[in-house]
Amino acid sequence: MLRRELEYFFGAVRFFTRLPVPAWVGHSSEALNRSARYFPAVGLLIGGIGALVYLGAAQLWPQAVAVLLSMAATIYATGAFHEDGLSDTVDGLGGGWEKLRILEIMKDSRVGSYGVVAMVLALLGKFLLLSSLEPALIPFALLAGHALSRFCATVLLATMDYVREDLLSKAKPLATRLSPGAMLVALSFVVAALAFLPLEKVIFGVVLAALVTFWLAAKFKRWLGGYTGDCLGATQQLSEIAFYLGLLASLPQ
């Protein structure tokens, strides 16, 4: 059983990142479906890479430089997988006027002006927000932000319908509903990551990430009738930013 679960986890790592996995890890649609429960665990792994790079770089350079290098490391590890989804989603929703046209734009490999602006704002936003945090909180913020945002994307997998019918889609193998048990497994990784941050900041961050997720889900439902792989990437990116924004929030005195 442990070997099977490890295979599911490594399957998620192989699908969502550029990181190497053991040679014995097989590949099948069923295994990839089950690996969705480990989406937040992959977030912990990516956030951990970012945290380690930040901690190492902070010994040599100013905080802003260390944050920039940590972001570069996480983007390299994922191959900008989710950033690409954000760009395609914004291009589609910004330039399309009905479902088929939106899906057509989202599938186009070219990046439009909406997508470029979205990526620039997203990267700049994460940089500014992380750089504004207390230095001691940044490693834990990276762990929690990457895990929670991937759980937010997993919520779409669990509650919405997949709308693409072609086999070229990025998320087709994951287009099944998750069981309550699988969702609890996914949630456990998020809870573990959040435990290292102050409760008040966690509450603000989780609430904002949830609001962004629900807003995006409603938008996807209205315009597409469900989600695509690009929608999952957009949800991950925007909920991560919302979480960091919540960490910086404070009640007026």
Give whole-number Cα distances, 123 to 20, 26, 71, 74, in Å. Answer: 25, 34, 9, 12
Residue 69 lies in a domain: yes
Q: What is the pLDDT of residue 4?
A: 82
Specify the number of domains making up the chain.
1
Phi, then psi, of 58 in degrees rounded to 5: -65, -20
In-domain check, residue 27: yes
- The answer to whether residue 179 is domain-embedded is yes
DSSP string, 61-105: S-HHHHHHHHHHHHHHHHTTHHHHHHHHHHHHHHH-SSHHHHHHH
Q: pLDDT of 149-162, one tens digit each?
A: 999 999 999 999 99
- Is residue 235 a part of any domain in this protein? yes
Tell me the three state secondary structure of residue 27: coil
The pTM for the full model equals: 0.93
Residue 253 included in any domain:
no
Per-residue pLDDT tens digits for 200-250: 999 999 999 999 999 999 999 999 999 999 999 999 999 999 999 999 997
pLDDT value of position 2: 78
Helix axes 39-57, 63-78, angle to 10 degrees: 140
What digits encode the pLDDT tens for the residues 85-131? Answer: 999 999 999 988 899 999 999 988 888 899 999 999 999 999 999 99
58 domain-assigned: yes
Domain that includes residue 205, residue range? 2-248
